[in-house]
Structure 1
Amino acid sequence: MPRRLTRTLRRWLYIGHRWIGIITCLFFAMWFVSGVVMMYVAFPGLSEKERLAALPDMAWEKVRLSPDAAMAAAGAKTFPRDLRLQMLDDEPVYRLTGWDGQRQTISASDGHGIDGVTLDRALAVARHYPGAADVQSIEMVERDQWSVTARYDPFRPLYQIALNDAAGTRLYVSSRTGEIVLDTSATERVWNWLGSIPHWIYPTVLRKDNALWRQVILWLSGICLVVAVSGIWIGILRVRLRRRYSGGRVTPYRGWMAWHHVTGLFAGVFVLTWMFSGWLSVNPGEVFSSRGPSREMLQRYAGHDAPTVAAVVAVTPSSRAVEARFVWLGGAPLMLLANRQGRKLPSIP
């Protein structure tokens, strides 16, 4: 009985590895090829340099509100996670991000809150983007293939605007805050259908449900892990180094099957570690801590928690700043100025 059971289990091991492997090897091929594409074309996103390049020069003479007054107008009880001063087309505004992720926009001219922008204003914002030619509204989207992730939730719905430039650039402008949150080019949109979308299994219909998408990735990669482990185990069971097969061969297979057997013993280890690392990156069971520092860590680093900066905005005409960020560092207030080229200069308010 034990020997018969062992033979039966081994037989099903071989059958399972063969037929499940035929299906999953298509996914392996897709992941390899799409991964090569991803080396050269990333998923669309707005870089810090692109974000700053699309901001107008700061109109310091229009700033009437101090950072403290802006926080008071926003009803802040503690110093926000992020506090910035920048232009919304021709109007200076303070942008506050709370520790709960909520975003508020306060006019730096008169202190009124801005909770939405019109299409005309969104088009005016888009005209400041470098290379913008004849900007044109395409549609308002709640979620599409390029804005599918949760990071854009605080900004939805989004105006999709075409720049009609040589690169075929499309901007996504928040209808809530008036910020440019994403840009895509024609090249990115085409190549990502061969890169990131198949590699991450990223169709909008699936990715919009983050919990479901994670389960699909975990189970699919988990099955592929089992196939890889079973293949290595079968390879070990079938190889003979001492009592060899006829002709002195170490494998019972011939042709492509022999190559699969021998190379699989070594390549299988690579495939296994590659798949396992990808499986862990989805954080199965939430066993890993969240990325980034906690609120308590950041507040200890700042050395300050009250909604105050105790400062007046410093006018620095020579800097041609497009943004001022207000922070606390070790109990001291600091204003960081950024220009359109991305250079940042500290200034003590």
Structure 2
Amino acid sequence: MFRKVFSLIHKILGIPLSIIFVLWFLSGFAMIWYSFPRAKQPVPTDALSAEILPMDTLLSIMPDSGSIRSLSVYRKYGRDVMKLSTNDSTIEVYANNLEPVPAFSEEFREVVVNNWCDARIARIDTLEAVDQWIPFERWNDKMPIFKYYFDDKEGHQLYMTTEGDVVQFTTAKDRRLAWLAGIPHWLYFTPLRKHQELWTDVVVWSALLGCVMCLSGIIVAIMVWWHQRKVYGLWHCPYRKPWWRWHFILGMLFGWCAITFSFSGYMSMGGMPSFLKKEKQEQKDPDSKNRDQRKRDRRRGGRGRMVVNPDRYLLPIAKVVAEGGDSIVSIQWASWNDHPYYQVAYHNSRRNIDASVAGNIQDFKLSAEMVERDARKQFHDSVGITVSYISEYDDDYYGRDKDRNPLPVYKVVADDYMNTVIYYDPLTLSTHRVDDDGRSRRFLYKGLHALHIKALTDHPTVWYVVMFILLTGGSMLSVTGLVLALQWLWRTVRRLRRE
């Protein structure tokens, strides 16, 4: 009785879900190297000039009300522009004469387009609805969007809003690879993806029902095998037909992989179930004082974005620009716990320069004392913390290939009930925070889905071998399952017609 129920569940779910599993596993090979094209802001070809007005002159345009939230100088439409944001407003002026930057117009459109691609424009389409390369519901409010086709061998295409914001930039190669990788893997098919809630529901329920399908199949296979063990022995396959035989063998070997892959896919969308969380939603962490404030800081870009007091920036901007020669493309005023510094972007790199020293240009780096003071603010006074300087990866801090976390870093270990560890990069000032919930979430998603496990990421060759074996087995399992599901559907339809 139970076997028939599980078998029926497996067959019914297998018809639609086997197709999705085939797409997921086969596209998984391409996802190792590529996903879906994203527009990355091009590095300006020209650098900041030396004509930037002094700081006190620039700040003369500041409104009387509101404190400065951000301040930066960068290239826009071929000229140096200063952008100043307060609690109440945002102002953009040319940095050499304080004249307001005019609103975006057709005159500037050509400048923006040429910054992305200098090839001849073959055609311009005006889109009133999203298409395959911007299949996201959020762009509906930005319509119309202009789509530029360029006459070059790379087949560039650029999408721009009426305000001049570039939302997508692709090549013919990007688009071909996306059809093998991100589109089938993430179900980025325009009719589905342009409806955010529907797409989310399809992915979540496909993942959950996929777990049920795989689990029911394994249960049926074990029950059939166990029933025949006395006749054929333990090491036997209960099926004789080739497709059934291979599906059984592959299911026993890779069925668990399909379950964990499907469940981790759900984790990427649905988040960690509340019963698995150590910190309950209705319970505030008694050992942490500033958890909500840290979340707000992360949403607005971190503590490095807040300008506390412009008078504290003693190092003249003109000197920074002169030292950088023709390679500086933007400068952002920033601070670390009231310590001023400049975030300087060059053509091919970034650097944090200490702005509290008027004479010398030197890197702004975190010290152990600064890290300890910052970490101490985040925990209750009763929580003990230790700070160390590490130059090797540990169980909480690692990565794969180009995404390897930078070293060396400061490591802060807190003696709280969440076993929190925070890593501080002294040069980039970035932080990486891990606690028990984060470890569980990382394993249930990245660990199971992308084998983001230190034992494997430390040995890239082993990671590739294991990933290829699992993807190959999962693909073969999905294909055999799809064939059997279609055969069962065909037999069922023929039987119903005869009746």
Aligned counterpart, 1:202 = 188
Aligned counterpart, 2:28 = 35
- TM-aligned CA deviation for residue 328 of structure 1: 0.8
Question: Kindly tell me: are residues 275 and 96 of structure 1, through their superposed partners in 2, closer, same or farther at Cα, counting changes over 3 Å?
Answer: farther
Match for 2:349 among 338, 343, 349? 343
Structure 1 residue matching 2:155: 3-state secondary structure: coil
Which blocks of at least 5 consecutive residues in structure 2 are unaligned? 282-293, 356-499
Match for 2:257 among 251, 264, 270? 270
Question: Structure 1: which amino acid aligns with 2:182?
Answer: S
CA distance in 2: counterparts of 1:170 and 1:328, whole angstroms: 38
Aligned counterpart, 2:413 = none
Cα deviation code 1:25-59 (max 9, x no counterpart): 12111112222233343311134xxx342453223
Larger deviation: 312-321 or 199-208? 312-321
TM-score, length-scaled by structure 1: 0.77
TM-score, length-scaled by structure 2: 0.56
Question: Structure 2: which amino acid aligns with 1:124?
Answer: V
Aligned counterpart, 1:84 = 72
Question: Kindly tell me: are residues 154 and 53 of structure 1, through their superposed partners in 2, closer, same or farther at Cα, counting changes over 3 Å?
Answer: farther
Match for 1:193 among 179, 185, 197? 179
Larger deviation: 90-99 or 265-274? 90-99
Matched, 1:325 2:318: no
Match for 1:120 among 97, 101, 107? 107
CA distance in 1: counterparts of 2:136 and 2:89, whole angstroms: 17
8 Å CA contact 1:173, 1:182 repeated in 2: yes
Structure 1 residue matching 2:317: 3-state secondary structure: coil
Aligned counterpart, 2:295 = 294
Match for 2:62 among 68, 72, 78? 72
Cα deviation code 1:241-277 (max 9, x no counterpart): 9942358763432132233223312210111111111
CA distance in 2: counterparts of 1:96 and 1:145, whole angstroms: 36
Question: Structure 2: which amino acid aligns with 1:326?
Answer: W
Aligned counterpart, 2:155 = 168
CA distance in 2: counterparts of 1:148 and 1:282, whole angstroms: 18
Matched, 1:220 2:171: no
Cα deviation code 1:162-203 (max 9, x no counterpart): 343321112334433x45443210111233233211221112
Identical residues among aligned pairs (%): 23
Matched, 1:229 2:215: yes
Matched, 1:244 2:230: yes
CA distance in 2: counterparts of 1:309 and 1:174, whole angstroms: 38
CA distance in 2: counterparts of 1:56 and 1:87, whole angstroms: 8
8 Å CA contact 1:73, 1:106 repeated in 2: no
Which blocks of at least 5 consecutive residues in structure 1 are unaligned? 1-6
CA distance in 2: counterparts of 1:139 and 1:269, whole angstroms: 48
CA distance in 1: counterparts of 2:301 and 2:173, whole angstroms: 42
Note the 1:13-32 alignment, pairs <5 A.
Answer: 13-32=6-25
CA distance in 1: counterparts of 2:91 and 2:142, whole angstroms: 12
Aligned counterpart, 1:58 = 48
CA distance in 2: counterparts of 1:240 and 1:208, whole angstroms: 47
Structure 2 residue matching 1:16: 3-state secondary structure: helix
Structure 2 residue matching 1:148: 3-state secondary structure: coil
CA distance in 1: counterparts of 2:86 and 2:28, whole angstroms: 37
- The structure whose RCO (Cα within 8 Å, separation 6+) is larger is 1
Cα deviation code 1:211-239 (max 9, x no counterpart): 22111111122111110110111122122
8 Å CA contact 2:7, 2:220 repeated in 1: yes
Structure 2 residue matching 1:35: 3-state secondary structure: helix
Match for 1:313 among 296, 312, 317? 317
CA distance in 1: counterparts of 2:136 and 2:86, whole angstroms: 20
Cα deviation code 1:103-152 (max 9, x no counterpart): 956123425365x41233122122233x6222466134464332334787
Structure 2 residue matching 1:171: 3-state secondary structure: strand
8 Å CA contact 1:171, 1:183 repeated in 2: yes
CA distance in 1: counterparts of 2:39 and 2:199, whole angstroms: 23
Cα deviation code 1:57-98 (max 9, x no counterpart): 223415577697399369764524xx5322112232245689
8 Å CA contact 1:67, 1:308 repeated in 2: no
8 Å CA contact 1:167, 1:186 repeated in 2: yes
CA distance in 2: counterparts of 1:227 and 1:67, whole angstroms: 68
CA distance in 1: counterparts of 2:21 and 2:57, whole angstroms: 53
Q: How many residues align?
A: 330
